[in-house]
Structure 1
Amino acid sequence: MFKRAPLHLATSLLLATSTWQAQATEGGISSWPMGIELYGMGILPPPGTYGQLFVGNYLADSLRDNSGDKAADIDLRVTTLVPRFVWVTEQKVFGGDLGFHALLPLNDMRLNVKGGPHDHKRGIGDAHLGPVIGFHPTDKLHIATGVDFVLPTASEYDKDDLINLGNHYYTVQGVLAMTYLDPAGLNADVRLMYDYNFENKATDYQSGRELHADYTLGWGLGNGWVLGVGGHAYQQVSDDKCSAGDCAAAALVEASDGNRGRSFSIGPAVQYSSKQGWMFSAKWQDESGVRNRAEGQTYWFKFTTPL
């Protein structure tokens, strides 16, 4: 279970007639870095304390409009380090194990618009935390559900900047994750998420509600290794809104059909689980079918160990 650990891809650039317009971080960003989760995403481990480290690198060279056409040539690079701590208690809730998690991303972001402006920022992103309940119906089937909260803790925010380290608004995310794990057979995971975004008080802008999922599918080799594929599917299910009557983004949101985002990614994924209890996984994913967002490729690495 993870919260949009940090890829705050602040690339809300829209092409209006022949003029570039930068809208802070609203358009084209989510509180969750799509596809960050890998194998075992529905498994809450036994009671104890665990540490995880995610390392991600996102590269994008284009921004897609509401029709999927290229709206801009860009050079976007986002590198993120995400330490995450998980505490699983002895407490039972509805027959499941109660746990809590928290993470704080460290982001390095660079954006260059071809023939236009550029920006670079480095620092703390938005914190993610929340409770989770884990169930183990069988020795191979595992389920985890919870609510995550994204807090606007980024080290700096300026609505007039091209990129920002955080979104500057709160997000509540409902989560349901499931894992089927066979060390010498089929491995399948999905993490379903529904996001409600509150208004950004600095811009009077409210991003729409979002439905998305991370997934992996692989085959266990019986020696700790799992090989397969993984990625994400994303669909924004309600329009962006701008509450102030003089909101500069209102006309652009309406013209782009609510600025609803969409994307899908897939790529190879691998995991190794040691007999000592630590795990390492890696994934590369390529995006397609993108609407109102940047389109690119992501590398994810994940390391988990008991503390």
Structure 2
Amino acid sequence: MKRAAIFTTMLMLANDAAYATEGAGLGVYPDGLENFMSGALPPPGLYGIAYAGGLRYDSIRDGAGNRVDVPNFRVKVGVAAPRLVWVTGQSILGGQLALHVVAPLLDVDVRAGAGRWKNQGLGDMTFGAALGYHASPSLHYLVSLDVVAPTGSYDRDDPASLGRNIWTVQPVLAVSLVQPSGWNLDVKAMYDINRRNRDTGTRSGQALHADYSVGWGFGNGWVAGLGGHVYRQTTGDKGPGAADKARAYALGPVLKYDSGRGWFLTAKLQEELGVRNRPQGRQFYLKAVLPL
């Protein structure tokens, strides 16, 4: 959903620095998007999930974490991403089979120097299949395989392109500890395996990243705590746009409300830190889950 392509032009302005993942150090997944309950599949049925939020980047960091001087640099991305999840009644290898699709709608606004670029529309869609397990009434986990398809419009000369123009295969492991009263814990770990961008001849490096949330349940449907994301590129890029590996961490408050009637809401605000070879910013996400 979030793409490296939107930063290409700004990074050309900062020609003394190198940035991983084909120019920006950002993967196809919007880091920190998930919150509580990402590893807990519900009973069989059809479910709708709506993500909404905003991403803002106002600086670029080099390999030492120093700010790179790019005049008037600012990137704002608005996200509205409907997700459809079908939890089937089938069991494979002892787990619930579920299928899902995400169709992100993006509003991208990029400024650098005297230039400004804007685009709106469909980004890169995600398709996947998962197996969910329930180790106990409170401990749940799932394994899945997602594929991110290059459905968003792309122009190598447009920094506000809506897609990255690559296919990405993404194995996923998610674990959720869910307690109405007491500790709640959620970790969704992903590994990106990127294909080559045929327009640029560059293949972005692989990356390990995870969303996390830790909170306390108050027994009345509310959970509050801290969450964020971690990102670490594990292999280097290959091709004309190859650059140094990227990394980032984020932390901020998280909140969840469970209605007890099958639907719940979560919110996450996170500030990035420890950023290397990529833009640095902050993100805010809302998630609503309801049975259809």
TM over 0.5: yes
CA distance in 2, matches of 1:40, 1:121: 32
- In structure 1, which of residues 238, 241, 256 is the aligned counterpart of residue 238 of structure 2? 241
Q: Tell me if 1:276 matches 2:261.
A: yes
Taking structure 2 as the reference length, the TM-score comes to 0.94
Aligned ranges 1:46-61 → 2 under 5 Å: 46-61=43-58
Q: Provide the identity percentage.
A: 40
Q: 1:21 to 1:216 in 2, by over 3 A?
A: closer
How far off is 1:187 after superposition?
0.1
The code of the aligned residue for 2:133 comes to: F
CA distance in 2, matches of 1:25, 1:295: 16
- 1:166-212 deviation per Cα after TM superposition (whole angstroms, max 9, x unaligned): 11000000100001111100000101111100000011011000000
Taking structure 1 as the reference length, the TM-score comes to 0.89
- In structure 1, which of residues 256, 270, 293 is the aligned counterpart of residue 278 of structure 2? 293
Match of 2:79 in 1: 80
The code of the aligned residue for 2:86 comes to: W
- 1:132-164 deviation per Cα after TM superposition (whole angstroms, max 9, x unaligned): 00000100100110100000001x211111231
Match of 1:303 in 2: 288
How far off is 1:69 after superposition?
1.0
Report SS of the residue matched to 1:11.
helix
Contact 1:284–1:299 (8 Å) recurs in 2 = yes
Q: Tell me if 1:168 matches 2:202.
A: no
Report SS of the residue matched to 1:7.
coil
CA distance in 2, matches of 1:56, 1:164: 19
How far off is 1:277 after superposition?
1.0
Q: Tell me if 1:190 matches 2:187.
A: yes
Contact 2:20–2:204 (8 Å) recurs in 1 = no
Match of 2:3 in 1: 8
Q: Tell me if 1:65 matches 2:65.
A: no
Match of 1:3 in 2: none
- In structure 2, which of residues 138, 155, 160 is the aligned counterpart of residue 140 of structure 1? 138
Q: Tell me if 1:157 matches 2:154.
A: yes
Match of 1:99 in 2: 98
Long gaps (5+) in structure 1: 1-5
CA distance in 2, matches of 1:293, 1:116: 21
CA distance in 2, matches of 1:147, 1:49: 19
Match of 1:110 in 2: 109
Q: 1:199 to 1:117 in 2, by over 3 A?
A: same
Match of 1:130 in 2: 128
How far off is 1:22 after superposition?
11
The code of the aligned residue for 1:105 comes to: P
Contact 2:165–2:197 (8 Å) recurs in 1 = yes
Considering only aligned residues, what root-mean-square deviation do their CA atoms show, in Å?
A: 1.8
Contact 1:25–1:164 (8 Å) recurs in 2 = no
- 1:38-65 deviation per Cα after TM superposition (whole angstroms, max 9, x unaligned): 0011101110000010002011110111
Divergent runs of 4+, >6 A: 20-25
How far off is 1:28 after superposition?
2.3
Aligned ranges 1:222-241 → 2 under 5 Å: 222-241=219-238
Q: Tell me if 1:42 matches 2:27.
A: no
